[in-house]
Amino acid sequence: MPEIIQKIELSDESIAKLALIISQSQSAGNLINPNYLTVREAADYIRVSQRQLRNLLYKNKIPFYRPEGKILFKKKDLDNYMEENKVESLSNIIKKAVNKKKF
């Protein structure tokens, strides 16, 4: 069976973007299980600095995993942390208070 090889020409910008995507996808945990994030990925995921995330980690506010010394986070745990720290808007608080008085 003859093999078909197609030549693809890429610009320098496209090659740089592909290299960045490949290097990011090869970070710890990404190739093993995409549900586990590194410190950098987790910080980006919940939109805080890596320093802020490490502070949360050291205060035991977010669960983490440490296989062979590498710190990893589950997306589910990060989502739970965000939900637990939800701040209600003043209008929602007032609506809840008004509804409780009606009963």
pLDDT in tens, the chain (103 residues): 566 666 677 787 877 777 777 666 655 444 557 889 999 999 999 999 999 999 999 999 999 999 989 999 999 999 999 999 999 898 888 888 888 766 5
Q: Which two tokens stand for residue 75?
A: 């997306």
CATH of the domain at 72: 1.10.10
Q: Is residue 2 part of a domain?
A: no
Range of the domain at 57: 30-102
In sequence order, the 6+-apart residues with CB closer than 8 A to the CB of 65 are: 36, 71, 72, 73, 74
Q: Is residue 5 part of a domain?
A: no
Q: Is residue 8 part of a domain?
A: no
Number of structural domains found in the chain: 1
Q: Is residue 91 part of a domain?
A: yes
Q: Is residue 25 part of a domain?
A: no
